[in-house]
Amino acid sequence: MHARSAFHLGLVLSVLGWTATADAQGPASRRVLGADRGRLAIIDARGDVEWEMPLKSQVHDLQLLPNGNILTHTGAATVVEINPAKEIVWSYTSAPRSGYNGPIEVHAVQRLDDGLTMIAETGNRRIIEVNREGKIVHSVDLKVEKPDSHRDTRLVRKLANGHYLVCQELDGAVHEYAPDGAIVWSYRLDLDGRPATPGHDGHGTEVFGALRLASGNTLIATGNGNRVIEVDPAGQVVWSIGHDELPGIHLKWVTSLAVLPNGHIVFGNTHAGPNNPQLIEVTRDKKVVWTLKDFHTFGNDLAAAVVLDEAGSAK
């Protein structure tokens, strides 16, 4: 592309509220699946919407399945599988468990290799695995210190060893649970030497996401901790990106998290406003190689987003 043409394309995309940046180590752009502003959408490498459907609820988790369908959640407590024709081909709605009559919310879903679907239920304070017929075949009770039907959990992932890595938002803790409900590993967030401040753009310890790396370390999207950290099994921070460490970028609510096959890390930067990107890809030496800033298709609450052209290696 000639320099003049490239400049013109960049100007058009900027006017539309969509920009993607990169350098020689990273892609010029990426395909992204995300949910925000009342829609579930895929944008292509140029920023055009190639697929979308209405989805009015706030979405905190989604997964592109091997069959091309999308697993996510709608409303407060319903998990759905949606095919490319925009049809719901499977759904499950969580209900209060025996002895509890309060609200239920779902903030984490995962289709497992055995075909079961893992669902984290706030309010019920448990993880369940359900089959295609909607039968609960396994459940794990969570040990929640500050029960809250909206903030018991955020992202939860089942690990290769059969355990569950659980982000307990209001507790400010990441716990690894064995299948019998025993906590076998924990990490508690701290304020990183900064005062706590209120609001979605504030600072705190309300954790959002975590991934277990092949090394045995745990990568954590700290939510309103405004940073990404990697901790070893002993709980020591061995790598991090601070809230103002990336040039020209301020981190607010750090949400979605993926490790790409090339080793790069992609994470979400939610509630940071239109002057900051919503997705950021960095190398291990903290060089920014790609960002998404799309306030035309998505908005300031893009908490669930997945890069599609390089599937994440961590589960």
Percent of the chain surpassing pLDDT 70: 90
Distance separating alpha carbons of residues 137 and 114, to the nearest angstrom: 12
For β-strands 304-307 and 32-36, DSSP reports them as: antiparallel
3-state secondary structure 69-127: CEEEEECCCEEEEECCCCCEEEEEECCCCCCCCCCCEEEEEEECCCCCEEEEEECCCEE
12 has pLDDT over 50: no
Nearest to 102 by CA among 79, 78, 120, 76: 76
Contact between 94 and 136 under an 8 Å Cβ cutoff? The reply is no
313 has pLDDT over 70: no
Categorize the per-residue pLDDT at 61 as very low, low, confident or very high, splitting at 50, 70 and 90: very high
Contact between 266 and 31 under an 8 Å Cβ cutoff? The reply is no
The tokens describing 41, both together, are: 């959408």
What's the whole-number mean pLDDT along residues 1-26?
42
**Geometric angle at alpha carbon 257, from 253 and 262, rounded to 5°:** 140
Categorize the per-residue pLDDT at 311 as very low, low, confident or very high, splitting at 50, 70 and 90: low
Categorize the per-residue pLDDT at 315 as very low, low, confident or very high, splitting at 50, 70 and 90: very low
pTM of the model: 0.92
pLDDT tens profile 235-249 = 999 999 999 999 999
**CA 116 vs CA 126, 130, 136: distances in Å:** 16, 6, 9
Distance separating alpha carbons of residues 180 and 288, to the nearest angstrom: 41
Distance separating alpha carbons of residues 79 and 106, to the nearest angstrom: 8
Residue 312 has a pLDDT of: 54
298 has pLDDT over 60: yes
Distance separating alpha carbons of residues 121 and 241, to the nearest angstrom: 30
Residue 75 has a pLDDT of: 85
4 has pLDDT over 60: no
pLDDT tens profile 126-179 = 999 999 999 999 999 999 999 999 999 999 999 999 999 999 999 999 999 999
The tokens describing 131, both together, are: 């089959």
pLDDT tens profile 70-100 = 999 998 999 999 999 999 999 999 999 999 9
pLDDT tens profile 199-224 = 999 999 999 999 999 999 999 999 99
Residue 275 has a pLDDT of: 97
Q: What is the mean pLDDT of the chain?
A: 91
Domains and CATH numbers, the chain: 18-307 (2.130.10.10)
3 has pLDDT over 90: no
Distance separating alpha carbons of residues 85 and 71, to the nearest angstrom: 14
Distance separating alpha carbons of residues 52 and 74, to the nearest angstrom: 15
Per DSSP, the residues of 215-226 read TS-EEEE-BTT-
**H/E segment holding residue 11:** helix 3-15
